[in-house]
Structure 1
């Protein structure tokens, strides 16, 4: 066979396909912009096309002649190609990720009689005869791997890919869904290959996909309206159906809708055959739309897992955790425009792409073409035909202008965002801005419930500054991640505390922001700077969030340079629906006027309207009577704000009628038949000092019982209130005997002061932030101390970590903030032993909060040292005092000696704990000093051979040994 000279081809020319062009010899070259190297990192698992076990050299099929001619690999004419990336695979032998070369503009027709010049993106390698690409497709038989020089080991690697996921279309939601399916299967231990082969720009890419298709165990074809007008999708459906391993998945369509599309195209024989093949797959055929993406992905993973004999390794890690913190608000009203705006921002208008693309052009245009992204993405046809290179000259610009003009006319108006940007390019972060009580959390919660099926999981994070970092790390429990600190190491490099904390944070961040779609909601973000270390919010939210969407609710004017969605108060009709309460009672015109007065006085605050509506529903009182009762609340009852920060004091002054309404609710809780049983009122007082997180009713009740029973603080206007409510006393909530703790907590929920929280075990509630601001105004110190005692009794470092931290802030202050509560020495010993010490150990070991835990232990040590100094001062005063004074203090002195001993021994425990933790971070010198001090204390207090003394000596020996190895 004579060699054929390959002419030089201009790489700047466009590649043109002449359909049905006979036997003309043509040449082609691939543009540099189609090179996979532009999107593939150099660390690809495939070093080169010819070295890869997935790729065999191109071969020429020579017709039979008088003499048998073997198949000769034309390696001398294959153009070198950059490596293909499969980053993210389970190993170098398993191509588990998609490879989609960058698309180009195209215009082609599947009609073989169409002889127009069409731009395509699939460019074959120039060869002597420019033979068609060898494919697994039925018209062109595929060369068996046995005929090539592929080793058995290479074949084993090739067969290690379990599932091929094929799709076609330009809807970004389709791509998002397919990536989600691939990620879910990989979590189940199933190696996947995902591809839209119509976008491949060179033969090497097609050959990789072909060989994977022939080797996989199952083929999942995601079927859309575009699929049946695409040559590659039809190939895949027919091939997998013949192998009896096809799993079709209808995406936002069904068989009837697809059949109706065939009427727009003359040549539908192959399409109908493919549809018939799919309809025969009754056992495994799946259908999905926007309402069941998650269920469909889960079902597909279950089918493949069962067929491949794989066991689930994911559900076990996440069971027992509720996604959303609160039940759905059945009384949610309005905000439809805002919800649509958020949906458009996050998901774009991808559905309209499919609706436009599935309608074939009447003049031989592009079936399957997306009008919305015609200048960005495309598909390629590698069907029958030869290839030539031509320069279009001026016609190129003319066609481009006509193309853009045609596309721009078909774009719907609602694709424009608030900033005027085209919403085809969807964003991944939405920032909802608004005043306190306007309804930001309710809006985010409603969106999460409506669109939860579009996400693998909804992750809800409280954005309060002090607790934000811990809340992010708490997500590791939902995601099934291990973010614990490094154990003690005798060998190997010991990482610093900063490295361990950074790695734990990055581990959660990597899991959240990848192809797996999560919805991350950061509720009530107080500041962009992290409170503990001052890190910026950009450290959490990357530029590329992968498949994850982020919704931020905040009172800040701007967050991370995102254009905020300014949430305005409810419209008057929606406000009237909300204020009528759960019963939606109709009132006469005169009473409706009082509803409007409430709306005006409350400044259309959604929270205030909901509280008034709850009172109207639960008390069965007329709006006029309720308005008069609330108006009678004395102004001085709303003026005290001594325990509040400056912004919170200003909020109370700006909303006097809202404060009066909340005072009325408090008085209502205290009007039970027996005020000593008014647990709900005391729950409200103590709840102000808990962290802004769900609280167990048992914990809340334990704290509430520590508050002494107060007499009625509202005597000045109680009689007036009773007169106003006398006609409704029979139906008043406060006349009921609220015996159980759970009923008392649910009373707060019914009055709109708190929300019921979703937890698997027990009853949990969370107070509204405005409720907590209000409850701190009076009797703050008594309630705060009761909070500390309740948490010390029942607090759990894992489930109640936020509340334990809240108590630590009250007792120790931290940073520049002074302590709120002053504890006696023995109470301090109990608090540190039962609350602070377990909290620090849990934060360090479970969540890698090394520096925060060590800082807490250091503060505890300093407090105990101050207590020791006070004891020494008392002893000195007692020794130098008069004999009479000695006799009076003698009994108390014995108690002080016992407390002193407990303080000193607890200090030794803190020193030993700090030394053990410092050992894990390589701080051997500091740990050794602390451990020696601990040993000295225990030797004096307990003796040299005491078990605790010997344990401290072992810790010291380990520190010395580790330091000597440096």
Structure 2
């Protein structure tokens, strides 16, 4: 075709102005036309940002027949210079007569890729247009100016060798395929490899938990979340959020083409942000999980963060490799004057800034902070708002919490209990016809009322009725006989008081586990051990290792239970440990004591279950957990990192809390060598947990010094520790002191990274003196420390004492 193309009206997705001078050349040209700005604009902006992050430049042109001469020339020059051409075809594309002439010109272009975008009203347009009879009908429906030209468009579509279709459920895949296409045509092999690796990761590791196939209800809550984040519900295009000019909900309702608004509690809402509150066990995590799975294609990634107080900072920094941010500290970075002025606070603020920058580059992410326990970070007392990207942009944020208010000027979405009818449908296996007796229906209603609608309790009831074939009336009598003799933390309170029935249900399940397998009690011991692991997925081998260290609990049961218990899981005389572990794990999942993870071989336990077990089974569980971690955990395995940290919290003294367990000197030396030192070194090499690493080493050093002082204490002071009755062992003392030197040397290195060279020099000197006394001046482990001390004395940084004093609040 010889006509001049009609491309030209340049479109800025951010609302700014573009240069009118076509002096640059671009790798990719993106052309589009469409009226559905809220969808099309988001898609095009995402596509451009994805290309940009891969190092591919692009030019965006909004195709319009009313384009002026100057804009047409700029777009024409950009299109000619581009090596790859992506044209996004919408319903409006076929209403512009220029397109009928121009689309055919790209048919034989080897570097041309059309993307058919959201033909929602005409899902079979591409197929219909090929048929003469149906083609004319559809063409007229699209508002084509020249209906007689439908045949040329049909011929054009038939000649296409490659095309993509973007619809509500595949945006993510469509954009990734477009980037792969551009990477291949441009010869960027690294781009293609990187995108394929990301696709593999998103398929296998994006979500912590699999989708709940039995999820029911919550339709209104899911719609409300979509409204809060997007301002509209895509599946119902006649519904949009009624907003003021400021972008905030004016009346908390939906406009519906002149009809009365549908009421949703979204007044004073910040677009792109939602906070879900509710009682423990009400189903907040399940709601967020279902929403994330349902709308995952609208985001590049779902970034799931556990909001537990001690771990939110760790979990936040786990986003660094996912977002492609490298913040590892290398030795060479200390060669410039600017690096001497770096502090721990500055390093961590820089990491937060880089994460927030990645989340606001035009690529949409869904950031989910689940089970936020405190509005401030435990380590540095930072507000949670410091971690969040700018709200109202492409990245959306959802928080689930028991807190009433997290973000100012944003009303939380309170999750209410299920209705009685919904709860009955969940509790009764199959249908209500299974329990025709009035006593059974009354028992179910009474259990529901006592549970205050807690979803976790309802699920446990359903599992008991299904697995034990027990009538609701008998279950109610059994629940009433369960003990309730513990005082739980107020975090378990629902409705102003402790939920007695939920705790009794958990106790009932533990009794069932004990009766099913009296010889080993594996399922029961696995549950008891789980209470002391970190609030993250637990590797089943690690959990089993801890379980075998918990004593077997013998108990008597009524003979009438025998026939029911045989139907749950028959352990019998099974001697195969793998089969035994599989059966025990399956039982925990079926009774909702644990949840399976997307990674095979992991279980996750609800916080309510963990807190109950911590209060009920105190010493045996924590000792078993620490011993199992000390012997079996490895930093190279997934999620072991959190459990090693949890073991450190239990062994060391943090935040003025009493030490939970006491280890012997040899046990603590083994623990510090296997976990404390490697954990601190991993932090330094891969991330910016400098505050955490320094505090960990400081607490461990204090513990070593305490043990050292007790070893030389008189007999009167020896009674404070049970292990001091043993004879003094000089080999253990030597190993302990050298381990202390390793701690001091690693702490000195961290202080130098933070800019506190005077403190670092003093710590290095202490470590050097210990090594010279116990190893000698010429020992292979002493020489490196001497060399570092020499460098510090020769290359002393040119900083004032005031600057040094501001580098952190860490003491020696």
TM score, norm. by length of structure 1:
0.71
Question: Which one of the candidate residues 364, 380, 383 is aligned to 1:533?
Answer: 380
Task: Compare 581-590 and 938-947 and name the one that shifted more.
Answer: 581-590
CA offset at residue 870 of structure 1? 1.2
Aligned to 1:500: 347
CA RMSD of aligned residues (A): 3.7
Would you say the 8 A contact 2:279–2:494 is kept in 1?
A: no
Where do 1:914-933 residues align within 5 Å? 914-933=747-766
- 1:172-227 C-alpha deviation (Å, 9 max, x unpaired): 12211122222333344432222324599976555433321232223222222222
Q: In the alignment, which residue of structure 1 is the partner of 2:168? A: 290
In 2, the alpha carbon distance for the partners of 1:518 and 1:175 equals 16
Match of residue 4 from structure 2: none
Cα distance in 1, alignment partners of residues 632 and 676 from structure 2: 13
The match for 2:43 is 177
Show CA shifts across 1:238-297 (max 9, x none). Answer: 554475654222212142499535257583248736733651343222222112222222
Please list, as runs of the form range in 1=range in 2, the aligned pairs for 1:569-588 lying within 5 A after superposition: 569-581=417-429, 586-588=434-436
Alignment deviations for residues 312-351 of structure 1 (CA, whole Å, 9 cap, x no partner): 2344367556111111112211111111221233233375
Shift of 1:376: 12
Partner SS state of residue 776, structure 1: helix
1:267 corresponds to 2:113: no
Q: 1:427 aligns with which of 262, 271, 282?
A: 271
- Counterpart among 217, 223, 226 of residue 83 in structure 2: 217
SS of equivalent residue, structure 2 residue 333 = coil
Superposed displacement of residue 446, structure 1: 0.9
3-state secondary structure, aligned to 2:615:
coil
Aligned with 1:520: secondary structure? strand
Residues 1:268 and 1:563: Cα distance change in structure 2 (over 3 Å): farther
**How far apart are residue 906 of structure 1 and its match?**
0.8
Report the 3-state secondary structure (helix = DSSP H, G, I; strand = E; otherwise coil) of the residue aligned with 1:600: helix
Aligned to 1:820, the other structure's residue is in SS state coil
Alignment of 1:134-213 (within 5 A): 157-158=24-25, 160-198=26-64, 205-213=71-79
**Change over 3 Å in CA distance of 1:858–1:709 after alignment to 2:** same
CA distance in 1, matches of 2:518, 2:78: 76
Instruction: Report Cα offsets for 1:578-625 as digits up to 9, x if no partner.
Output: 213589983323433332232122222100010111122222333233
Structure 1 position 522, deviation (Å): 0.9
Partner Cα separation in structure 1 for residue 665 and residue 100 of structure 2: 79
Q: What is the distance in 2 between the residues matched to 1:774 and 1:498?
A: 37
CA distance in 1, matches of 2:286, 2:667: 40
**Match runs of 1:244-255 below 5 Å:** 245-253=111-119, 254=123, 255=125
Q: 1:372 to 1:269 in 2, by over 3 A?
A: farther
Q: Note closer, same or farther for the CA distance 1:776–1:316 as it changes in structure 2 (3 Å cut).
A: same
Q: Whole-Å Cα distance in 2 between the matches of residues 37 and 580 of structure 1?
A: 52
**Separation in 1, partners of 2:65, 2:714:** 84
Whether the 8 Å CA contact 1:619–1:732 is kept in 2: the answer is yes
Pick one of 704, 708, 711 that aligns with 1:864. 704
The partner residue of 2:607 within 769, 774, 780 is: 769
1:81-126 deviations in Å (ceiling 9; x for gaps): xxxxxxxxxxxxxxxxxxxxxxxxxxxxxxxxxxxxxxxxxxxxxx
In structure 1, what is the equivalent of residue 727 of structure 2? 893
> In 2, distance between residues paired with 1:565 and 1:554?
10
Further displaced range: 849-858 or 295-304? 295-304
| Number of the residue aligned with 2:680 | 840
- The 1:417/1:600 distance shift into structure 2, 3 A limit, reads closer
The whole-number CA distance in structure 2 between the counterparts of 1:903 and 1:927 is 21
Give me the whole-angstrom Cα distance separating, in 2, the residues matched to 1:247 and 1:270. Answer: 26
Tell me, in whole angstroms, the C-alpha distance in 2 between the residues paired with 1:783 and 1:371: 51
Report what 1:813 is aligned to: 653
- Comparing 660-669 and 260-269, the one that deviates more: 260-269
Cα distance 1:954–1:549, how it changes in 2: closer, same or farther (>3 A)? same
Assess if the C-alpha contact under 8 Å between 2:348 and 2:688 holds in 1. Answer: yes
Cα distance in 2 for residues equivalent to 1:548 and 1:470: 21
Confirm whether residue 623 of structure 1 aligns to residue 472 of structure 2: yes
Q: 2:769 matched to which residue of 1?
A: 936
Structure 2 counterparts to residues 600-639 of structure 1, below 5 A: 600-634=449-483, 638-639=484-485
8 Å contact from structure 1 (residues 755, 765) kept in 2: yes
Contact 2:429-2:462 within 8 A present in 1 as well? yes
Instruction: Give yes or no for contact 1:249–1:287 (8 Å, CA) kept in 2.
Output: yes
Report what 1:227 is aligned to. Answer: 93
Contact 1:197 1:206 in 2 (8 A): no
Taking a change above 3 Å as real, the CA distance of residues 657 and 708 of structure 1, as seen in their structure-2 partners, is same
Residues 953 and 223 of structure 1: CA distance in aligned 2, closer, same or farther (over 3 Å): same
Q: 1:963 to 1:308 in 2, by over 3 A?
A: same
Give the deviation of 1:374 after TM superposition: 14
**Equivalent-residue separation in structure 2 for 1:251 and 1:563 (angstroms):** 35
Q: In 2 relative to 1, CA 944–206 (structure 1 residues): closer, same or farther, beyond 3 Å?
A: same
Inter-CA distance 829–581: structure 2 relative to 1 (3 Å threshold): farther
Question: Which residue, 618, 633, 643 being the options, matches 1:803?
Answer: 643
CA contact (8 A) 2:635 2:679 kept: yes
CA distance in 1, matches of 2:535, 2:685: 24
Map 1:517-528; keep pairs closer than 5 Å.
517-528=364-375
Q: Match of 2:803?
A: none
CA contact (8 A) 1:486 1:920 kept: no
CA contact (8 A) 1:168 1:226 kept: yes
CA distance in structure 1 between the partners assigned to 2:741 and 2:451 by the alignment: 56
Q: Is the 8 A contact 1:688 1:776 kept in 2?
A: yes
Q: CA deviation at 1:699?
A: 1.2
Would the aligned equivalents of 1:434 and 1:555 in 2 still touch at CA under 8 Å? yes
Instruction: Indicate the SS of the match to 1:801.
Output: helix
SS for the counterpart of 1:793 is: helix
When residues 856 and 204 of structure 1 are mapped into structure 2, their CA distance, relative to the original with a 3 A threshold, is farther
CA distance 1:788–1:205, change in 2 (3 Å): farther
* 1:756, distance to aligned residue in structure 2 (A): 0.5
For these two proteins, the number of residue pairs brought into alignment is 753
Which of the residues 306, 315, 318 maps onto 1:462?
A: 306
Q: Deviations over 1:730-754 (max 9, x none)?
A: 3143665674334322321111111
Determine if the alignment matches structure 1 residue 963 to structure 2 residue 769. no
Structure 2: 5+ residue runs without aligned partners? 1-8, 130-134, 248-253, 800-812
Structure-1 separation of matches of 2:319 and 2:256? 46
Structure 2 counterpart of 1:827: 667
- Residues 870-889 of structure 1 correspond to what in structure 2 (within 5 A)? 870-874=710-714
1:484-509 deviation digits (Å, cap 9, x = unpaired):
23434352231332222222222222
- Which of 491, 496, 505 lines up with 2:335 in the alignment? 491
Instruction: Check whether the contact 2:172–2:300 (CA below 8 A) recurs between aligned residues.
Output: yes
Distance of aligned partners of 1:871 and 1:264 in 2 relative to their CA distance in 1, 3 Å threshold: closer
Q: Is the 8 A contact 1:811 1:819 kept in 2?
A: yes
TM alignment of 1:667-706, pairs within 5 A: 667-675=511-519, 677-706=520-549
Q: CA deviation at 1:460?
A: 0.9
Task: Decide whether the 8 Å contact of 1:165 with 1:178 is kept in 2.
Answer: no
Instruction: Decide whether the 8 Å contact of 2:176 with 2:195 is kept in 1.
Output: no
Deviation for aligned residue 1:228: 2.2
In 2, the alpha carbon distance for the partners of 1:877 and 1:632 equals 47
Q: Secondary structure at the match of 2:400?
A: strand
Q: Distance in 2 between the 1:36 and 1:735 partners?
A: 66
Check whether the contact 1:582–1:617 (CA below 8 A) recurs between aligned residues.
no
- 1:777 aligned counterpart, secondary structure: helix
Equivalents in 1 of 2:746, 2:709: separation in Å? 22
Q: Distance in 2 between matches of 1:856 and 1:376?
A: 47
What SS does the corresponding residue of 1:963 show, helix, strand or coil?
coil
Distance 2:97 2:237 in 1: 17
297-306 or 900-909, which deviates more: 297-306
Rg comparison, structure with higher value? 1
